Structure 1
Amino acid sequence: MAIRAFRRELSAPTTAEQVFHAVFSSDDCLVWVDVSGPSKPPHSVLGRGELHELSGPDALEDLRRLWVANALELEKERVPLGLMVVLPYDLSALTLQHPGEWRVPEDWDEPLRVVALHQSISVDWSSGVATAWMRGDDEEDFDHEEFDHYVRRVEKALASRATPTSDVPQPAGRARWRDTPPAYRGMIASAREAIRDGEAYQLCVTTQVTVDSDLSDWQLHSLLRRVSPAPHQALLRLGGVSMVSASPETFLHLDRDRTLTTRPIKGTRPRGESEEDDQRLMTELLQSEKEQAENLMIVDLMRNDFLQVCAVDSVRVAGLFEVETFSTVHQLVSTVTGVLDEGYDGIDALRACFPAGSMTGAPKSRAVRLLTEWESGPRGIYSGAWGWLHPDLSMELAMTIRTAIFADGVVRIGTGGGITWSSQVDEEIAEVGHKAKSLLEALGVSTIAYS
């Protein structure tokens, strides 16, 4: 029996914020993703679903089975259902081992979280047209009456509930860094020593900051989508954990035609105080031999990862050293593409490429081991990946950077940077602060220790 998606257009225009507050605000298992960019009409997807937590040596195989179970009959357009997945960085304990040697570290307590969406609402930003979606059996067996009843309830809720003011209160946040700047300098020194000794070419050293803030997860998301828009923007509630992401970096994108793409970011400069200063910093980034070398190392690493699952003659560098500008930083981005070889799927690509080289360094396996020794705590969700496993078996995953994690009554933010032999320590310290700035300021932190 073919499983397919059914749709109903709502009777009145609306916004994503109105849909959230009328339908989903109290849900503890929620997906709210904002999609924008040159190749996609701007829209939002909101939905509730069933939360799955996968762990142990079979976590990725369990994810494969869940993905296949949620596949749909192929549609001409992309359907906003399927799986929303959050992959913790600690999954590297599995992906970097040979299958026969897989084991789960004793201190690995961050599962792979998956929300299976069987219902959702998409909202077109320009027209306000909202569409309800539901997964179901074929036309004869689908309960159209139940779906129509659901749509009427949504329309009634939208008509009767006022949207809270969009003004976000100014919080008074207090930040506690896991590592002081002197401690971070020590990790940089360790990284440069390892590079000098030939153990690695590049190492991505990270830290985290914990913030006490009055902002809720939806308030932070509402603020960031206005002041810090990004290609990968979402509020995800995952039981007792919420994450608000404004990530600029594409980890893996798998098209229906089996084309695999990654867009690693390596190289950062802050935005300038004036247009002239901003242009100077952008040019400095583009012409920096150090930043180009750092970026090229990760491009080469990702090419090698792709060669594990892609046809050899299909892997190529489609773009090299391109500057992309965001609200607080300029970043140096490259693009690697390939076509999956016969017998491989999205999970195989994930296994070959995770964790992303831009968050580890090169060579990847040795870099991860060294970083585990130096960093003063586990990364958890930060520097892993999140995104869609679509029901047509295509995939869109972002890097979990520029992301706030709400859990245990506090907010945690990870940040860091790639270290090479030519790294200037003061510049690397400042980069940590630049990358965390927009999130920390939104959470009410007025003074950033790393600057």
Structure 2
Amino acid sequence: MIPVVREVPYGPGPVEAYRRLRHLPHPVLLEGAADAADLGRWSYCSADPIDVLVLDAAHWPTHCARLRETLRQQSPTHASPPFRGGWIGWLGYELGRAFDAQPTAPRDAFAATDGRLHLHDWVLAWDHLERRCWICSTGIDRHGVADTDRAIRRAAMVRDLLANDPTPAPSGRTIGRPLHRTHERATYEAAVARLIEYVRAGDIFQANLSQRIVLETGDDPLGIYLDLRDRAPASHAALLEWPDLALVSASPECFLRLDAASGVVESRPVKGTRPRAADPARDVSLATQLSTSAKDRAENVMIVDLVRNDLHRVADPASVAVPVLCRLDTHATVHHLVSIVTATLAPGHDALDLLAATFPAGSITGAPKLRAMAILAELEPVARGAYCGAIGWIGLDGSMGLSVAIRTMAIHGSRVAVHAGGGITLLSDPADEYQETLDKAAALLAALGAAP
């Protein structure tokens, strides 16, 4: 199947296009809102999917069979854009139970399912490096069977919608009212101390503990997204507005990129964080402190080893490499240490095998992964849901692009869940670890008119 691909003007851009398409069912925006020369090169927008898959870890084999019906409907190609239609959505952290039986924390409305994937027969794609835009229309039905006439009609529909006036910009902001925290400072620091005991006892080397803050807000999800985008532009920004749950994300972390044509996989674990400072000298000092921190570098290297081990399960062992180790990356609100791990899938493996071998990401679980996840289920009082899962796409050609769902808030009705966490090692200081969660949550809470 060869999709219909029509180039259209680069403007008005992803957000304005989203506003013109937002009245359609299940609109989605995956936006490269920063770093156009690298991870933020591509943005995608779509709506009106032709099928919906509500995920349940207990039924993952059935879900896989459904997904594989549609994969490889397009021949893998190096042509742009890399995603021309397929599944868009989110995978919840607790979906990890599908791959390794693990205990999980109690669920609530923010984690009622293990994720959702929607099958999109068309997508708008922007290349921010080349400043180009395309309508890609596959013409597929829910079984992946393509029809060229349908593809042409759907592409024309999208072109007409882009000519419409956008929906009015969200106006009027409320002050987010905190309702509940899973941890106060004392209980979070006690949980950090307990994790340090596990490390000292040899159970784990590191684990990524998190807390959740639930707030009440009357704000429109698009308004929240735009505010967060201005405060913390990210290479993997996302807005998914669905009836049961909306997600707003400013993730800086690439979980997986798979090019089906070459089989090349890339993961970019983020470990090590310092806040930005308004004073330039102080900002440089914080960045230097991070790049020279033995604790943060050790934490990053541990997770790199975990990612390498996960990839070895489905990749050619000789292909697994670490071209970048502990690079300092600076974002609008924080500094991070980032590494890059690459590999080539072994023959007979596909995107779903890769997902089973690596999900959830090592950077938000710990090492060893399974033991760390079991301990986190003991110390975190509620399920994570979308947080620390993944957001992104799986293409009809078998390619895949997923972010780690950090810096992500879930909106259920008028309630918003904001999570933040950090890696705990033997060298962790409980007070510093609690402060790190506030630093990471600051931009999200500010977008809700609240303070940490």
Question: What TM-score, normalized to structure 2?
Answer: 0.88
Equivalent position amino acid for 2:13 in 1:
T
Shift of 1:407: 1.0
Which stretch of the first structure deviates more once superposed, 43-52 or 186-195? 43-52
Deviations 1:330-387 (A, max 9, x none): 0111111111112221211111111111111111111111111111111111111121
Q: In the alignment, which residue of structure 2 is the partner of 1:20?
A: 18
**How far apart in 2 are the matches of 1:69 and 1:444?**
42
For the 8 Å contact 1:57–1:104, the answer to whether it is kept is no
1:290 to 287, 295, 302: 295
**How far apart in 1 are the matches of 2:61 and 2:27?**
22
For the 8 Å contact 2:105–2:380, the answer to whether it is kept is no
Shift of 1:103: 10
Shift of 1:126: 8.2
User: Which runs of structure 2 are paired with 1:52-131 in the superposition (5 Å)?
Assistant: 52-60=53-61, 62-63=63-64, 65-70=66-71, 71-75=73-77, 76-77=79-80, 78-97=82-101, 109-123=112-126, 130-131=133-134
User: Which runs of structure 2 are paired with 1:51-450 in the superposition (5 Å)?
Assistant: 51-60=52-61, 62-63=63-64, 65-70=66-71, 71-75=73-77, 76-77=79-80, 78-97=82-101, 109-123=112-126, 130-136=133-139, 142=147, 144=149, 150=154, 153-162=157-166, 164-165=168-169, 169-175=172-178, 176-256=180-260, 257-445=262-450, 447-448=451-452
Which stretch of the first structure deviates more once superposed, 114-123 or 375-384? 114-123
Deviations 1:120-170 (A, max 9, x none): 223456898653322127xxx8454x65655555555444525534x7544
Aligned-residue Cα RMSD (Å) equals 2.7
**How far apart in 1 are the matches of 2:240 and 2:147?**
29
Q: Which protein has the larger Cα radius of gyration, Structure 1 or Structure 2?
A: 1
Please give the secondary structure, in 2, of the residue aligned with 1:21: helix
Which stretch of the first structure deviates more once superposed, 176-185 or 323-332? 176-185
For the 8 Å contact 2:105–2:382, the answer to whether it is kept is no
Shift of 1:15: 2.9
Residues 356, 160 of structure 1: alpha-carbon distance in 2 compared, 3 angstrom cutoff: closer
Shift of 1:317: 1.5
Equivalent position amino acid for 1:262 in 2:
S
Shift of 1:408: 3.4
Question: What TM-score, normalized to structure 1?
Answer: 0.89
For the 8 Å contact 1:267–1:331, the answer to whether it is kept is yes
Residues 276, 326 of structure 1: alpha-carbon distance in 2 compared, 3 angstrom cutoff: same
**How far apart in 1 are the matches of 2:298 and 2:203?**
17
Residues 43, 366 of structure 1: alpha-carbon distance in 2 compared, 3 angstrom cutoff: closer
Deviations 1:225-281 (A, max 9, x none): 333211111111233111011101111111231112211111110001211111110
**How far apart in 1 are the matches of 2:425 and 2:104?**
30
Please give the secondary structure, in 2, of the residue aligned with 1:382: coil
Equivalent position amino acid for 2:87 in 1:
L
Equivalent position amino acid for 1:31 in 2:
V
Deviations 1:375-429 (A, max 9, x none): 1111111111121112221111110100111113211111111111111111111
Please give the secondary structure, in 2, of the residue aligned with 1:57: helix
**How far apart in 2 are the matches of 1:162 and 1:329?**
33
Equivalent position amino acid for 2:410 in 1:
I
For the 8 Å contact 1:316–1:336, the answer to whether it is kept is yes
For the 8 Å contact 2:139–2:152, the answer to whether it is kept is no
Residues 104, 162 of structure 1: alpha-carbon distance in 2 compared, 3 angstrom cutoff: closer
Residues 153, 117 of structure 1: alpha-carbon distance in 2 compared, 3 angstrom cutoff: closer
Structure 2 unaligned runs (5+)? Answer: 141-145
**How far apart in 1 are the matches of 2:97 and 2:156?**
47
Please give the secondary structure, in 2, of the residue aligned with 1:132: strand
Residues 149, 204 of structure 1: alpha-carbon distance in 2 compared, 3 angstrom cutoff: closer
Equivalent position amino acid for 1:287 in 2:
T
Deviations 1:76-133 (A, max 9, x none): 3224311113111111222124xxxx99999684233101111222345689865332
**How far apart in 2 are the matches of 1:105 and 1:288?**
32
For the 8 Å contact 1:404–1:412, the answer to whether it is kept is yes
Shift of 1:19: 2.1
**How far apart in 2 are the matches of 1:235 and 1:405?**
10
**How far apart in 2 are the matches of 1:214 and 1:410?**
8
Residues 156, 81 of structure 1: alpha-carbon distance in 2 compared, 3 angstrom cutoff: closer
Structure 1 unaligned runs (5+)? Answer: none
Please give the secondary structure, in 2, of the residue aligned with 1:37: coil
Which stretch of the first structure deviates more once superposed, 317-326 or 74-83? 74-83
Equivalent position amino acid for 1:208 in 2:
R
Aligned residue pairs: how many?
436
Q: In the alignment, which residue of structure 1 is the partner of 2:5?
A: 7
Residues 317, 229 of structure 1: alpha-carbon distance in 2 compared, 3 angstrom cutoff: same
For the 8 Å contact 1:134–1:147, the answer to whether it is kept is yes
